[in-house]
Chain A
Amino acid sequence: EPEVTQTPSHQVTQMGQEVILRCVPISNHLYFYWYRQILGQKVEFLVSFYNNEISEKSEIFDDQFSVERPDGSNFTLKIRSTKLEDSAMYFCAGRQGSGNEQFFGPGTRLTVL
C-alpha cells in the first residue's frame, strides 16, 4: 500500500539556521499540506498547496516559511531562520482530487537549540 514518506525523521538545528523538511507524497495525490504539532498540543494547519501554488495558509505560516514542489515528486517545507518555538513535529499530508481524506506521513521531529 502506498505511503507518504518524510525525511529526515529527526532534525536538530541551531536557532537562526535554515532547515528544509522533505516529503514524498503518494503518487496520485494532487493536494498537499503541511501541519505541525508542538509536543502535547493540537495538530495545526500550516499550508495547503495545489497546482504548484499555495491555496491557503495559516497565520503561523509567515515569511520565514516557504513550500515548493521542485520536481513533481518531492514536496518541501523550508524554514529560513529557525526559532526555538519552531521545535515541533512537522507532518506532510496529501489527498486525491476525489475524496477529502488526507493521508499523513510519519513526521519530522524538528528540534531547535
Chain B
Amino acid sequence: EDQVTQSPEALRLQEGESSSLNCSYTVSGLRGLFWYRQDPGKGPEFLFTLYSAGEEKEKERLKATLTKKESFLHITAPKPEDSATYLCAVQKGTGGFKTIFGAGTRLFVKA
C-alpha cells in the first residue's frame, strides 16, 4: 500500500537551532517527491521537487534530500517566520499522477 510517514509530528526549536524533518515513503511507481509548507488555514505552498536518490535542492534556510526510502528537510538556523507545517508528498507516475500526502510536521520556532 502506498504510504507516506512523517516524523516528528511536532518540533519545537529555538531560533538558530538547526534540525531535520523526516519523510519515509513506500509507493509503487514514484514519479517525484515534493515538500510543501502549509500555514494555518491556507493552501500548501510548493517548496521542492526531488526525483532521484542522491538529489538535493536548497532554498534559503531549507535543504531537501532524497534517498530510495526517505527524504529529509534540513532547516539551518531557523527563524520564527519558518514556523509552519511542512508536508511531504509523493506523486505516482501512473494514471492521473495522484499525489499522496503525509500528515506533516508542525514546526515551532521560538525567538
A106 touching B103 by the CB < 8 A rule? no
> Which residue of A is nearest B45, CB measured?
A104
| Set B32, B45, B98: member contacting A56, Cβ < 8 A | B98
B87 touching A43 by the CB < 8 A rule? yes
Q: Which residues in B have some Cβ–Cβ distance to A below 8 Å?
A: 31-32, 34, 36, 41-46, 49, 87, 89, 91, 95-104
What is the minimal beta-carbon distance from B22 to any residue of chain A, in angstroms? Answer: 16
Interface residues of A in 85-100 (CB under 8 A from B): 89, 91, 93, 99-100
Complex interface: stretch among A12-20, A44-52, A74-82: A44-52
- Provided the pairs A102-B46, A104-B43 are in contact, do residues A50 and B96 lie with their beta carbons within 8 angstroms? yes
Size bracket of the A interface: 20 to 34
> Which residue of A is nearest B102, CB measured?
A42
A107 touching B42 by the CB < 8 A rule? yes
Task: Render A99-113 as a binary contact track against B, CB cut-off 8 A, 1 for contact.
Answer: 111111111010000
Q: Enumerate 30 A-B pairs (CB-CB under 8 Å) in ascending A order.
A: A4-B43, A31-B97, A33-B99, A35-B101, A41-B103, A42-B101, A42-B103, A43-B44, A43-B89, A43-B101, A45-B101, A48-B97, A49-B96, A54-B96, A55-B95, A56-B97, A56-B98, A58-B98, A91-B43, A100-B32, A100-B34, A100-B97, A101-B32, A101-B34, A101-B49, A102-B46, A102-B99, A106-B42, A106-B43, A109-B41
- Interface SS of B by simple majority: strand
The docked-state distance in angstroms from the alpha carbon of A94 to that of B41 is 19
What is the minimal beta-carbon distance from B15 to any residue of chain A, in angstroms? Answer: 27
Interface residues of A in 1-60 (CB under 8 A from B): 4, 31, 33, 35, 41-45, 47-50, 54-58
What is the minimal beta-carbon distance from B66 to any residue of chain A, in angstroms? Answer: 14
What is the minimal beta-carbon distance from B78 to any residue of chain A, in angstroms? Answer: 23
The docked-state distance in angstroms from the alpha carbon of A57 to that of B95 is 10
Task: Render A56-71 as a binary contact track against B, CB cut-off 8 A, 1 for contact.
Answer: 1110000000000000
The docked-state distance in angstroms from the alpha carbon of A58 to that of B96 is 11
The docked-state distance in angstroms from the alpha carbon of A24 to that of B59 is 28
Given A54-B96, A58-B98, A99-B49, 20 extra CB contacts under 8 A: A4-B43, A31-B97, A35-B101, A43-B44, A43-B101, A45-B99, A45-B100, A45-B101, A47-B96, A48-B98, A49-B96, A55-B97, A56-B95, A57-B96, A91-B43, A100-B34, A102-B46, A102-B99, A103-B46, A104-B45
